[in-house]
Structures are given as C-alpha cells and as structure tokens.
Amino acid sequence: MLDAMNGVLAGCDAGAVPRAARHGLDLPPECRPVRQGLLSLLAFSLVVVPALAQDPTLLLTSSPSLVVPSNPSSFNSDTIGFGSAVALDGDLMVVGAPLEAMSTNNTVSWVGAVYIFEREGFSWVERQKLRAPVELQFEEFGRSVGVARGYDLNGPIDYLVVGAPGFQVSTGRAYLFSRVPGGDFVFETTLSHDVTSIGGLFGESAAIDFFVPPNSVNGDPKFFVAIGSSFNRDPGDGGNSQHGSLSIFQRTGGPPTWAISHEFYADPNQRLGRGVAISRDHIVAAGNITDPLGMFGGALHISQANEQPGGVFHYAKDWKLVPQATSATGLGVSVAVEATPSGGVAVLGAPLDDEIDVDAGKVYIFDITPGGMGTTRTEVATLAPTSLASRAEFGTAMALSGSILAVSAPGQADDGQIYLFEQGATAADWTEVGSIVPSSTHPSTSCRAGKGLALQGLTAIVGCPTIGVVQTAGTFIYFPSGLFFDGFETGDTMEWSSSQP
C-alpha cells in the first residue's frame, strides 16, 4: 500500500509508520503525503487514521459538529472568548476561553480557562476543563494554546501548552500540562523569561511539536515549545523598547525537565512574537520586522542547528521574511509553517491590508527551502480573494496542513468566513478551492469565525467566539473530505459550507 502512493512517503524513516501505529499517533511530517493534491492527501488520510477510515458520505452527514463549553463562568453574562484559540493533534482538540471568570468568584473576569475535547467516532466529547495553577484576573489563561501527542521511554504521552500573557498583572507565563492518553492532563511546569518585565506578553503566542530533529545523533524524537512575547524588552539593549522575543524550550532528561534552549530578541519596537508557528525544525515568529528600506511587518525564520552536549539542540536565525510591497500594513499578526523533507512554506497574515478595501487583508507566501539567498527573503505569492469586504481582516488566523491552507476572515459577512487554498507544484502555485461558512445554528447572534483556527488531515477546527455580552460561544468541527467530495463530484459551487447537498 505504501509503495503504491507514488512517492508520498519520500524521505520517511521506515520505522516511523509502525511506531506511529503502535502508539496511536499521527505520522510524522516527513511521512505524511507530500504536495500532490487535495484528493491524494485525503485518500491517504482515510487509510492511516483508523477513527475516520469510513465512507466519506458519513463524514458529510456529520459535518459540521459543534462544541460549546460546559458550565462556563462569566461575569454579568460577558463573553468568555471560547474559541479565541484552538489546537488539534489527531483526535485531541483544545479550545481556549481566555476571558472566562474565576472559578471561585465570577465577579473576577478575564482569568481564563481551557477545554479539552476528544473524538469518539464522529462525536467530540469534553474530557476536561483546565485552569491556571493560580488564577489571576487579567492573566487570560488560554489566549494561546498548542497540543502535541508523542511518546518517551515510558510510552505515549501528550503535552499541552497554554499561554497566559497577563498584560496588566505580570510579564506573562506559559503553562505545560501532560497526560498519559486516557487520563487527565495534570500541571507539570511553568515556562517564563530568564529576565522578566511587567507587560512583556510572554505567552501571547505558543506552539508545540514532537519530531526527530534532523541532526539528532540517536534519532530519538523530542518535544519543542516556542513562545512569543511581543512586548518583551531586550535587557542587552537597555530594556526600554518593545523588541519582542521568541523563546524555545526543549524537554530533556529523565525524569524530564523543560529548559530554555534559546531566546531570540528583535530590534527595538519590532514586537517579535505576535504570532508563532512550528513545524519540525522550522520555527517562524511574526512581528513588525523591518529591513533597511523601512518596510513594515514580516517575520523571523529560525531553524535548528547541531546537537549540543546533553542532547540540547540550539537554534539559529536564518532569514527575515519581508514582503516586497511597502504598504503591507497589519502584517506580522498570524503565521503558519509547513515543513517538507526538502524545505517548506511559511505564510504570513496581513489582516489590515487595504489593497482591496479598508482592512480587507492579504496573505503572503514564502518559500523557506534552504539556499544561498542572503539574510532576507521576499514573498513568492500573495493571496487575497476579490470577494473580500471592508474590514474582513483576511489573514487573522491561518492553518497549514500538507498542501492545504486555511485562512480566516472573521469580519467577512455576518459571522466570518474561512477560505481554503491548495498548493500546486511549487511554493508560488496556489488555487482557491472553496470556503467554510459558519452554520446558522451557532449559539449566538454574532460571532467571529476563525479567530481561532486549526487544520489537520481531515479535520478543520473553526473557533467562533461571540461579540459583545453573550455568555457562550461555539467552535465548529468540519470534515472537509466529505464536503470536498460533495463539491467536486456533484458539480456544485465548491463551497465547504454547513448545509447539506
């Protein structure tokens, strides 16, 4: 079967497939289908994901699913922000509600909570609700989330990272929780800066991945966490400007510990870390990165260097990712990255770009394949649907999985819209293939669909936090494969919508 996939496993470690099957994990990125089209990606996913290996028409009838929080704590029916951040790995989904009130006193707001859901067949079941070890007002626990399933010498283990930037109360923190699959997540440790300053926004963005580092001596997979802190001040530069920083942590040793392996600072006022994404050894952090011409916005690409004594991997800066246009306003808010055996693609969102209309938005595509291209790279493609309306904010959140890119426009139409693109033969070749329109059955009168966004294999997670003083909000789970077959086999409008054919 694998040999018949026309090279989709190029560069894959032959032992990775049985390892993944043995531990109930998704295949590592190097063993996932390379960019050969949406249909091959979905067909392969149907083969390797046992929970979804069923007739695609069944996926269609169950899409979308809707999850809402159980027993949310809110002050005076304020919105709790459920869906402001979402993360997905396999059958495990995490939804942040950073505005939820304190568990013991609902008059203390903006404390935050995180909800854990797990897929059972075609249903999603809430397993757990998490709070910070010490609840603080305005900490916004759950403003960012990331989840990764992996294993160590003791067997399977799942890790969850939760950002709590706490602008008004602290420098910000990130919390790590772990569980043995089938059990509950338990608090393991707190991540923070080496040098702290109030209002640093540490935890504003967070990402986690589990992979075998390319330069590993023994070939063991490891967990890596990347945390953005856009208001952090570089202590080596007087500490008076919003440099922003990216902190990389690694799980090492036995018993395991989490240590900071690298911390990168930007130049003054560049606010590095507003968004962060990680895919294998590629880490991209967004901010107001500028080049000598004064262009506004961009990102910093980080890649992994050689293994150091003790099994710690040090990272190094590669390039600044900077758009060619001098009018790239609002860039550096969201970012996505997908690694391939030969390189990869990075995507930056500019939700306040005005080219089509005021704050309509735009997305920039960068080729991050290694090569002698100096210290700065410019985009190879830009994306902006012509249908975007004023203040659509296309590019607010993005998710990249294989050859499929999902981009949210939470201000489009009544409740927002998610646009889907497929990559062709090169990093510069992209085609709009459809869109996701939120269901009219969501539990509020107005939401911002795609404020939180995740995409993996057959599953798209669309956070839909409410606007104003509505207590609950919904998060939608779409199975794009079923809607894909509908869109392309029956000749309809190719929209991945919530309606049935």
Could you report the per-residue pLDDT of 347-379, keeping only the tens digit for each? 999 888 888 898 899 999 999 888 766 678 889
What is the per-residue pLDDT for 301?
A: 82
pTM, two decimal places = 0.83
What is the per-residue pLDDT for 236?
A: 67
Q: 92: which 2 tokens? A: 């495990």
- Please choose, from the candidates 126, 95, 130, the residue with its C-alpha nearest in 3D space to the C-alpha of residue 111: 130
Would you place residue 28 in the very low, low, confident or very high pLDDT band (cuts 50, 70, 90)? Answer: very low
Backbone dihedral region for residue 330 (phi beyond 0: left; psi -120 to 50: alpha; all else: beta) = left
Which residues, including other chains, have CB under 8 Å from residue 55's CB and lie 6 or more apart?
none
Residue pair 217/241 in contact by the 8 Å Cβ criterion: no
CA distances (Å), 287 to each of 231, 313, 320, 394, 486, in order?
10, 24, 10, 17, 39
For residue 442, pLDDT beyond 90? no
CA distances (Å), 263 to each of 31, 176, 236, 247, 266, in order?
30, 18, 12, 4, 10
What is the per-residue pLDDT for 34?
A: 33
What's the DSSP call for residue 309? G
For residue 238, pLDDT beyond 70? no
What is the per-residue pLDDT for 190?
A: 93
Q: What share of the chain is helix, strand, coil (3-state, %, to 5)?
A: 10, 40, 50
User: Rounded to an integer, what distance in angstroms lies between the CA atom of residue 476 and that of residue 487?
Assistant: 19
Q: In terms of C-beta density within 10 A (0-12 exposed, 13-18 middle, 19 or more buried), how is residue 107 classed?
A: exposed
For residue 380, pLDDT beyond 90? yes
Residue pair 295/328 in contact by the 8 Å Cβ criterion: yes
User: Rounded to an integer, what distance in angstroms lies between the CA atom of residue 136 and that of residue 175?
Assistant: 14
For residue 460, pLDDT beyond 50? yes
For residue 444, pLDDT beyond 60? no
Q: 426: which 2 tokens? A: 């090169």
In this prediction, residues 81-102 reach a mean pLDDT of: 93
Strand segments (E) across 255-380: 257-265, 275-279, 282-287, 298-307, 313-321, 334-340, 343-350, 362-367, 376-377
Would you place residue 240 in the very low, low, confident or very high pLDDT band (cuts 50, 70, 90)? Answer: low
- Give the count of beta carbons closer than 10 Å to the beta carbon of residue 109: 19
The pLDDT mean for the chain works out to 76
Inter-helix orientation angle 480-489/38-48, to 10°: 140
User: Rounded to an integer, what distance in angstroms lies between the CA atom of residue 115 and that of residue 67?
Assistant: 10
Residue listed under structure tokens 């897929």? 119
CA distances (Å), 402 to each of 64, 324, 458, in order?
21, 26, 11
What is the per-residue pLDDT for 366?
A: 93
Digit-coded pLDDT (tens) for 9-24: 334 443 343 333 333 3
What is the per-residue pLDDT for 297?
A: 64
- Give the count of beta carbons closer than 10 Å to the beta carbon of residue 451: 23
User: Rounded to an integer, what distance in angstroms lies between the CA atom of residue 308 and that of residue 177?
Assistant: 26
- Please choose, from the candidates 410, 281, 390, 433, the residue with its C-alpha nearest in 3D space to the C-alpha of residue 333: 410
Residue 191's H or E segment, with its range, is strand 186-191
Please report, for the domain that includes residue 236, its CATH number. Answer: 2.130.10.130
Number of domains in the chain: 1
CA distances (Å), 38 to each of 193, 396, 484, in order?
41, 24, 9
Backbone dihedral region for residue 253 (phi beyond 0: left; psi -120 to 50: alpha; all else: beta) = left
User: Rounded to an integer, what distance in angstroms lies between the CA atom of residue 224 and that of residue 211?
Assistant: 8
Residue pair 488/494 in contact by the 8 Å Cβ criterion: yes
Give the count of alpha carbons within 13 A of 493, CB side only: 9
Range of the domain at 396: 2-497
